[in-house]
Chain A
Amino acid sequence: MNLLRGLCQRVVETQVWKSFFRHGYPNTDGNRALVMFSNVVLHLHPVRVRRGALKLRFSWCLGGLTFFFFILLAITGVFLMFYYVPDTRRAYNDIKDLGTVVYFGDLFRNLHRWAAHAMVLSVWLHMTRVFFTGSYKPPREFNWVVGVILLVVTLLLSWTGYLLPWDQLALWAVTVGSKMAEASPLIGNAGPFGPELGFTVKNDIAFVLLGGTMVGQSTLLRFYVLHCLALPLIAALFMAIHFWRIRKDGFSGPL
C-alpha cells in the first residue's frame, strides 16, 4: 500500500503530470476551486453556485442535458459519416448496411436518432422551464433570444437529418416542408405576392432550399452539408455565446 502511494506521489510530481494538471486532487476547497479554473470543460461552470440552483426541481438539468445530447449526436454522427455517402444511388443502401454489415452500425444509428428526438424535446422543456421560472428577465433577455435561435437551429438540424436515409419517410416528409416553403409570402412561387414579385418554381425560396424544383440529388447534398457541417457550426457558435452569457449573468435560481 505504501509502495502504491509512493508511486502515485512520484507520478504526480513529475514534470509531465504537472504540465497536464495544474491542481491537486480536488479534496480541499482550494483544489476544488482550482480544478474549475484550470480545466477547459469544467470552466463552463463558475467555482461556486447558489445552493438553490442545484435543486433538481428548479432546473431539471435540462439545459445541460441538451448540450450533452448535442455532444452525443456529434460523436455518433461522426461514426455514421464514415459509412454514409450522400448519393441518391447509394445513400439508402449505406443505411441498410449499417444494420447488416457494419459492427454496431444499427446501435449508433438508433442512438443518433433517439438522441435527436431527446434533444428536440429537451430544448422545448428547457425553454418551458426557463419561462416558468422567469429566468429570461433582465439581465438575461438577450440569452433567451440566443436560446430561441438555438431552438430553430435544433429543429433545422433534425429536419435536415430526416432526409439522409433516403427512404419514403425521408423523401415525403421533406417534400411536405418544401411545399410550405413554396407557399412563403413574397419569396415563394405559390405564396401571397410571390408570383407578382416574379418568383417561379425555378427561382423561389424552395428552389434555393432544394437545389431544384423537387427533392433530388442536389437536395440530398445540400441537406447533408447543412446537417453535418454548417448547422452544427452555427449551433456551436450560439452555444458558446449562450454558455458565456450564463457565466456572466449567473444562475437565476433561488436560495
Chain B
Amino acid sequence: MVQTQGLSARIKKAAEANLSPEDTTLVWPHLVYIELIAMVFSTAVLLFLSLISPAPLEEVASADTTPNPTKAPWYFLGLQELLVFFDPWLAGVVLPSLIIVGLMVIPYIDTNPRGKGYYTFTERKFAVTGFSFGLALWYILIVIGVWFRGLDWSWYWPWDDWSHHQPASAVTLIDLEVIIQRAVGFSDAPLIAIGQYGFSAANLITVLLFLGYYGIGFSIPFLLMRSFYKRLGFIRYNITMFLFLSMLGVPLKIALRLLANVKYVLITPWFKI
C-alpha cells in the first residue's frame, strides 16, 4: 500500500501524522541561526535604503494650499484609486470592511481539509484562484495609484510630462438607468412612489439587474455544482458567494466604466453604486 504512493504524497501524509524525533531538529542552533541571519540581513537592507533614499519632508502643513494630486500613503492607494469608480462610502469604508471581514472568515468557510502545511494548487483550486484574484486586484490598483496617477488624478504614463494637466476628458459619464431609459424609450416620470420617493421604470430595471447579478450568481453553483454547495452547507455557501460575487463586482463595475462610461449602476434615494 505504502509503496504504491508517490514520494510527495507520503511526505504530505507524514506531515499530518505524529512525528518521531528523527523528523524534528533542535531550534538551537538550527532555527535561531536562520533568524539571526534574517535579522542581520534585513537590518543591512534597511540601513542601505535609509542612506540612499531619505524620508521626504515637504513644505509645512497648510490648510490653504491643496496639493494636486493629494495622495494617501502607498498602502491605501488601491482604495483611493477605487474612488475613481465608486463613491467614498463604498471605496473607503464598505469595501475595506468587506476585505477585512472576508479575510477573517476565510478559515471558517474553507472546509477543504487538504493542502494544510504545504504549497499546492491542484488540491485547492477555488481557494487559491479566488485569493490570487483578490490579491492581484489589490496590487494592480496600488501600482496604478502610485505610478500612473498625476495631476487631477489623471492617467499619466511614465514618459508623459507630469507637470502639465492632461486635457479634460471628452467623455461624459452616464448612469445605467439613463442608458436603459434612452434605449427602451421609457419616460423618466416615477412609475411607483413610496412616501416622498418616486421610482422610474428604468430605475426599477437597474434594481432588478443589481439583484439579478447576486441572484444569478448565487443560483448557478447552487443548481449546477451541487457537491460544492453540499460541502459548504447553507450558511457557509451564502457567506462565500456573497463575498466572492462582491469581489467580482469591483472589476465588473470598473469594466462598465471604462468600456461603456457608466457612472452609477444603481441609484437609490439614499446611496449610489
Contact: A45 with B87, CB < 8 Å?
Answer: no
Query: What per-residue 1/0 map shows which CB atoms of A173-184 lie under 8 Å from chain B?
Result: 101110111111
Of chain B, the residue at the smallest CB distance from A152 is B100
Q: In angstroms, how far is the closest chain B Cβ from the Cβ of A181?
A: 8
Contact: A145 with B107, CB < 8 Å?
Answer: yes
A61, A145, A191: the one within 8 Å of B89 (CB): A191
Contact: A144 with B106, CB < 8 Å?
Answer: yes
Is the C-beta of A140 less than 8 angstroms from some C-beta in chain B?
A: yes
Is the C-beta of B184 less than 8 angstroms from some C-beta in chain A?
A: no
Stretch at the interface among B10-18, B207-215, B225-233: B10-18
Enumerate chain B residues within 8 angstroms of A135, measured Cβ to Cβ.
116-117
Q: Which of A177-213 contact B (CB under 8 A)?
A: 177, 179-185, 188, 190-193, 196
Is the C-beta of B80 less than 8 angstroms from some C-beta in chain A?
A: yes
Contact: B117 with A190, CB < 8 Å?
Answer: no
Contact: A185 with B32, CB < 8 Å?
Answer: no
Stretch at the interface among A12-20, A113-121, A221-229, A238-246: A113-121
A49-B25 in contact given A168-B58, A188-B93 (Cβ < 8 Å): yes
Contact: B23 with A255, CB < 8 Å?
Answer: yes
Contact: A171 with B61, CB < 8 Å?
Answer: yes
Tell me the count of chain A residues lying within 8 A, CB to CB, of chain B: 94
Contact: A148 with B103, CB < 8 Å?
Answer: yes
Contact: A173 with B72, CB < 8 Å?
Answer: yes
Chain B contact residues: over half helix, strand or loop, or mixed? helix
Of chain B, the residue at the smallest CB distance from A131 is B131
Enumerate chain B residues within 8 angstroms of A109, measured Cβ to Cβ.
55
With a 10 A CB-CB cut-off, give which of B35, B47, B114 has the most chain A CB atoms: B35
Enumerate chain A residues within 8 angstroms of B270, measured Cβ to Cβ.
192-193, 196
Enumerate chain A residues within 8 angstroms of B75, measured Cβ to Cβ.
120, 155, 158
| A133-B128 Cα distance, complex, nearest whole Å | 10
Is the C-beta of B124 less than 8 angstroms from some C-beta in chain A?
A: yes
Q: In angstroms, how far is the closest chain B Cβ from the Cβ of A35?
A: 5
Of chain A, the residue at the smallest CB distance from B12 is A254
Q: Which of B97-151 contact A (CB under 8 A)?
A: 100, 103-104, 106-108, 110, 112-120, 124, 127-128, 131, 135
Of chain B, the residue at the smallest CB distance from A107 is B50
Contact: A168 with B67, CB < 8 Å?
Answer: yes
Contact: A214 with B89, CB < 8 Å?
Answer: no
Enumerate chain A residues within 8 angstroms of B171, measured Cβ to Cβ.
none
Stretch at the interface among B38-46, B197-205, B243-251, B258-266: B38-46
Is the C-beta of B49 less than 8 angstroms from some C-beta in chain A?
A: yes
Is the C-beta of A47 less than 8 angstroms from some C-beta in chain B?
A: yes
A68-B39 in contact given A148-B103, A188-B93, A190-B88 (Cβ < 8 Å): yes
Contact: B42 with A252, CB < 8 Å?
Answer: no
| A214-B51 Cα distance, complex, nearest whole Å | 35
Enumerate chain B residues within 8 angstroms of A47, measured Cβ to Cβ.
26-27
Enumerate chain A residues within 8 angstroms of B92, measured Cβ to Cβ.
177, 179-181, 183
A54, A114, A167, A185: the one within 8 Å of B61 (CB): A167
Enumerate chain A residues within 8 angstroms of B30, measured Cβ to Cβ.
49, 54
Contact: B61 with A168, CB < 8 Å?
Answer: yes
Q: In angstroms, how far is the closest chain A Cβ from the Cβ of B214?
A: 18
Q: In angstroms, how far is the closest chain A Cβ from the Cβ of B29?
A: 7
Contact: B107 with A51, CB < 8 Å?
Answer: no
Is the C-beta of B73 less than 8 angstroms from some C-beta in chain A?
A: yes
Contact: A170 with B61, CB < 8 Å?
Answer: yes
| A192-B89 Cα distance, complex, nearest whole Å | 7
Query: CB within 8 Å of B: which residues of A?
Result: 26, 29, 32-33, 35-36, 42, 45-54, 56, 58, 61, 64-65, 68-69, 72, 88, 92, 95-96, 99, 106-107, 109-115, 117-118, 120, 127-128, 131-138, 140-141, 144-145, 148, 151-152, 155, 158-159, 162, 165-173, 175-177, 179-185, 188, 190-193, 196, 214-215, 252-255
A64-B38, A159-B73 given; name 8 further pairs at CB < 8 Å.
Answer: A49-B24, A49-B25, A136-B106, A136-B110, A168-B58, A180-B79, A180-B88, A254-B117
The 23 sampled A-B contact pairs (Cβ below 8 Å) are A32-B28, A45-B27, A58-B118, A65-B39, A92-B61, A110-B51, A113-B55, A134-B127, A137-B115, A158-B75, A168-B61, A171-B62, A171-B63, A172-B70, A176-B72, A177-B92, A181-B92, A183-B89, A183-B92, A184-B89, A184-B93, A255-B11, A255-B15
Query: CB within 8 Å of A: which residues of B?
Result: 11-12, 14-15, 19, 21, 23-32, 34-35, 38-39, 42-43, 46-47, 49-51, 53-63, 65-67, 70-76, 79-80, 87-89, 91-94, 100, 103-104, 106-108, 110, 112-120, 124, 127-128, 131, 135, 270-271
